[in-house]
């Protein structure tokens, strides 16, 4: 059979099995088994056992359950309420006022969470009722939260970066550091749009509900101290070279437990809930990663990635045209799959292609995270849209509509890192020196 026929057969098998309701991880393993059994001479069972064991026992991957657990612990504290109290006095003077709490709050919580959905849910639980009670329009409140919630993927520590690093064999610590400046840039774009919106709609912005002096604002900022200390402990230990990503994750879990204990929210019940919640989420991710590793091996034996890379090379696409095509591909894929599944499903095929095109895998990792962020707010399977639908009871279509400006800002962010790649590469280069 030709490569095109084999590819079409495997894609059809993928969608048929997925459509029947089988878990994504098992679906990937099933498609890989079909490929090896029909189009390879190596025994599929032996290859599956070796690959899944190798994937599951990866030391690099141990950072993932720890960061997931840290986010679960913090989700059950009053950290989000404390963040609102600490940030609100400083936001009152900005055009758009408390709407900026969504952006800044998401950026801060993203630095201790690693999950887009957790960031969106935690900050939304705190900010949406407050903004509604003060008279802020629901559309811009929800839209800014949906957009800013995606910062959970870009600002380290990021679950999706760990998944990409394991799949692409790129240093997770380097990816974490590379995500800092793009994350700050994207948060700045979101806040800039809120300033523009407030300038265009001055009558829709409620007046400031407090006028605190500098001393009073500084005093209220004490509520931010725990989360700032946790961010410094996690990211500072990585950036200084004191700890690896896995060791920093352990520091993060310990710090989250201390914060929870100091705030009085740590009990045996919350400890058990956070541990079980983190275990369930990690097991789902680990199953997907194991299935994807087997699928990558299967396609390697069949030769599809190499043939696809060679075919794309014959098209004569420039780097820009290739990245544009990949951005459209990932946004389209995001209409049907979650971010982790998108990354692990495509890396085996995409990586040889981008390497052949001379694109830096580290830079490409941040590019992938940005376009996966777009997928988080793309209907019908945008995870942040689902989170907000559950919180607000509004229709997915309406939420997607009010989120559209922030989707366009993400496209602008991709353009900026293409024009100025130093936004991604500058900090990792310093770290290597």
Which of the pair, 342 or 250, is modelled with greater confidence?
250
Q: What distance in Å separates the CA atoms of residue 204 and residue 323, rounded to the nearest whole number?
A: 39
Residues 6+ apart with CB under 8 A from 168: 347, 351, 361, 364, 365
Determine the pLDDT at residue 418.
94
Q: Structural domain tally of the chain?
A: 1
Per the listing, tokens 């090379």 go with 313
Return mean pLDDT, the chain: 82
**Measured distance CA(179)–CA(307) in Å, rounded:** 32
Question: CA gyration radius for the chain?
Answer: 22
Q: What is the DSSP string of 296-348?
A: HHHHHHHTHHHHHHHHHHHTT--HHHHHHHHHHHHHHHTTTS-HHHHHHHHHH
Asked if residues 124 and 207 have their Cβ atoms less than 8 Å apart, the reply is no
The string of pLDDT tens digits covering residues 118-152 is: 778 778 877 888 788 888 888 899 999 888 888 88
Position 338 pLDDT exceeds 90: no
352 in helix, strand or coil? helix
Q: Which of 147, 176, 234 is nearest to 409 (CA)?
A: 147
- Average of per-residue pLDDT across 382-390: 75
Q: According to the model, what pLDDT value does residue 210 have?
A: 65
The residue ranking higher by pLDDT, 311 or 157, is 157
- Do residues 32 and 17 make contact, with C-beta atoms less than 8 angstroms apart? no
Encoded tokens for 47: 């290859």
Residue 190's pLDDT is what?
94
For residue 310, the model assigns a pLDDT of 67
Q: How confident is the model at residue 361 (pLDDT cuts 50, 70, 90)?
A: very high
Q: What is the mean pLDDT of residues 309-333?
A: 80
Residue 337 has pLDDT above 80, yes or no: no
Domain that holds residue 331: 3-432
Task: Give the pLDDT mean for 45-58.
Answer: 78
When pLDDT is cut at 50, 70 and 90, the band that residue 212 belongs to is low
Q: For residue 189, what pLDDT is reported?
A: 94
* pTM of the entire predicted model: 0.77
Instruction: Kindly state the tokens that stand for 46.
Output: 């032996």
The whole-number pLDDT of residue 362 equals 93
Which of 215, 239, 295, 267 shows the shortest CA–CA distance to 52? Answer: 295
* Distance from the Cα of residue 153 to its chain's centroid: 2
What sign has the CA pseudo-torsion 64, 70, 75, 81?
A: negative
Least confident segment among 16-30, 64-78, 375-389: 375-389
Cis peptide leading into residue 380 (ω within 30°): yes
Q: pLDDT (tens digit, 9 = 90+) per residue, 91-120? A: 777 888 888 888 888 888 887 776 777 778
Measured CA to CA, the distance from residue 171 to residue 356 in angstroms comes to 20
Is the pLDDT higher at 213 or at 198? 198
């Amino acid at each position: 059979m030709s490569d095109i026929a084999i590819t079409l057969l495997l894609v059809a098998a993928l969608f048929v099995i997925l459509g029947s309701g089988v878990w994504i991880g098992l679906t990937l393993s099933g498609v890989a088994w079909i490929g090896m059994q029909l189009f390879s001479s190596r025994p599929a069972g032996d290859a599956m056992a070796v690959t899944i064991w190798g994937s599951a026992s990866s030391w690099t991957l141990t950072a993932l359950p720890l960061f997931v657990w840290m986010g679960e612990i913090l989700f059950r504290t009053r950290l989000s309420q404390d963040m609102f109290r600490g940030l609100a006095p400083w936001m009152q003077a900005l055009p758009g006022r408390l709407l900026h709490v969504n952006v800044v709050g998401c950026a801060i919580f993203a630095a201790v969470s690693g999950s887009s959905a957790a960031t969106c849910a935690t900050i939304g639980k705190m900010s949406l009722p407050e903004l509604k009670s003060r008279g802020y329009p629901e559309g811009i409140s929800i839209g800014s939260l949906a957009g800013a919630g995606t910062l959970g993927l870009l600002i380290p520590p990021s679950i999706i970066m760990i998944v990409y690093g394991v799949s692409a064999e790129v240093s997770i610590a380097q990816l974490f550091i590379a995500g800092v400046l793009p994350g700050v840039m994207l948060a700045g774009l979101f806040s800039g749009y809120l300033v523009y919106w407030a300038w265009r709609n001055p009558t829709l912005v409620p007046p400031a509900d407090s006028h605190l002096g500098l001393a009073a604002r500084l005093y209220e900022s004490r509520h931010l101290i725990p989360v700032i200390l946790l961010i410094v402990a996690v990211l500072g230990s990585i950036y200084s070279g004191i700890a690896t990503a896995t060791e920093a994750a352990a520091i993060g879990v310990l710090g989250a437990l201390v914060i929870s204990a100091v705030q009085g929210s740590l009990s045996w019940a919350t400890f058990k809930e956070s541990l079980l919640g983190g275990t369930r989420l990690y097991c789902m991710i680990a199953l997907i990663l194991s299935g994807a590793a087997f699928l990558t091996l299967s396609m390697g034996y069949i030769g599809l990635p190499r043939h696809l890379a060679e075919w794309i090379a014959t098209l004569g696409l420039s780097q820009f045209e290739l990245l544009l095509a990949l951005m459209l591909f990932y946004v389209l894929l995001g209409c049907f799959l979650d971010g982790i599944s998108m990354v692990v499903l495509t890396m085996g095929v995409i990586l040889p292609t981008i390497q052949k095109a001379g694109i830096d895998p580290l830079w490409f990792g941040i590019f992938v995270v940005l376009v996966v962020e777009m997928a988080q707010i793309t209907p019908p399977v945008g995870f942040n849209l689902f989170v907000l639908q559950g919180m607000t009871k509004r229709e997915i279509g309406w939420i997607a509509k009010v989120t559209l400006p922030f989707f366009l800002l993400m496209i602008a962010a991709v353009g900026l890192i293409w024009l100025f790649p130093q936004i991604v590469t500058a900090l990792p280069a310093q770290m290597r020196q």
